[in-house]
Amino acid sequence: MPDYGAIYRTRAADYDLMVSREDIYGNIAKAIQAVQPIENTVIVDFGAGTGRLTRLVAPLARYVIACDISTHMLAQARGSLPRYAPPSQWGIAVGDNRHMPLPADMADIALAGWSFGHSLTWFQEQWQDAIAAAISEMARVLRPDGVAIILETMGTGAETPMPPTESLATYYAWLETELGYAGQTFRTDYRFESLAEAERLTRFFFGDALAERVVNEGLQVLPECTGMWWRRF
């Protein structure tokens, strides 16, 4: 199993290249827009990393702020964002999902992409407390009638959506049954520039088993399923 903490501290460029190959059908933006139109909104991106969601929404939003605990990841985001939107439309802030350095009632949309699920590994027995604290921060920064949107994996290398682990299945069910989030799934397949690139990037982030499958099956296009959950506050 890759050490995701180490990746986020030291390998932002590789991570950013990998996610730039993701979602070849543009389904993430379509799904967000169907829940809450992005145009002229203020958005907070929780666990923004290198800014893949920030870049997606910045051209349309009035303002988006990318927040992450990793200064290494945010430095990558800061370098790429000017190609997508002028500096007047975005900002960067260092912050833990559970304790955001932002005022209340500031945003129309709170996004969290592939971030909260790490709590199951990083906080283990306290994962519900960690995610609940982050969701409380989402609610705090949202204006009345604002919407919280959470994206998580439903399987990389999979054509049929299914939580990759039992613990993720428990988390997703908790969002729906205990916290009142609605959910949907869609494809976010990768298209790599070459089979060599597909092997290198999947091996570094997803591990040897998936990388060997990529090589053996010649998967320059790698299927992936993503889940999105949302709730209006």
How far apart CA 54 and CA 85 sit, in angstroms, is 10
Residue 195 lies in a domain: no
pLDDT of residue 67: 98
Query: For the chain, how are helix, strand and coil distributed in percent, rounded to 5?
Result: 45, 25, 30
How far apart CA 155 and CA 48 sit, in angstroms, is 20
CA 29 vs. chain centroid, Å, equals: 12
pLDDT of residue 181: 98
pLDDT digits (tens, 9 = 90+) for 90-117: 999 999 999 999 999 999 999 999 999 9
pTM of the model: 0.97
The HSE-up count of residue 226 (CA atoms within 13 Å, CB side) is 26
pLDDT digits (tens, 9 = 90+) for 19-36: 999 999 999 999 999 999
How far apart CA 181 and CA 169 sit, in angstroms, is 14
Per-residue pLDDT band at 223 (split at 50, 70, 90): very high
pLDDT digits (tens, 9 = 90+) for 82-92: 999 999 999 99
- The tokens describing 211, both together, are 């990388």
For tokens 């992005």, the residue is: 38
Q: What is the tally of structural domains in the chain? A: 1
Query: The dihedral of CA 79, 81, 86, 89: what is its sign?
Result: negative
Residue 33 lies in a domain: yes
Instruction: Look at residue 224 and tell me whether its pLDDT is greater than 80.
Output: yes
Owning domain of residue 154: 4-189+226-230
Residue 221 lies in a domain: no
- The tokens describing 191, both together, are 């298209």
Residue 76 lies in a domain: yes
Euclidean distance between the first and the last CA atom of the chain, given in angstroms as a whole number? 36
> How far from 185 is each of 44, 160, 162, 230, CA to CA, in Å?
22, 10, 9, 12
Percent of the chain topping pLDDT 70:
100
Instruction: Look at residue 194 and tell me whether its pLDDT is greater than 80.
Output: yes
How far apart CA 136 and CA 148 sit, in angstroms, is 10
Per-residue pLDDT band at 118 (split at 50, 70, 90): very high
Residue 100 lies in a domain: yes
pLDDT digits (tens, 9 = 90+) for 119-155: 999 999 999 999 999 999 999 999 999 999 999 999 9
The CATH number of whichever domain residue 127 belongs to comes to 3.40.50.150
pLDDT of residue 1: 73
CA 212 vs. chain centroid, Å, equals: 25
The answer to whether residues 232 and 146 touch, using CB atoms and an 8 Å cutoff, is yes
Phi-psi region of 54 (alpha: psi -120 to 50; beta: other; left: phi over 0): alpha
Instruction: Look at residue 17 and tell me whether its pLDDT is greater than 90.
Output: yes
- The tokens describing 5, both together, are 């903490």
Per-residue pLDDT band at 2 (split at 50, 70, 90): confident
Residue 219 lies in a domain: no
How far apart CA 209 and CA 184 sit, in angstroms, is 27
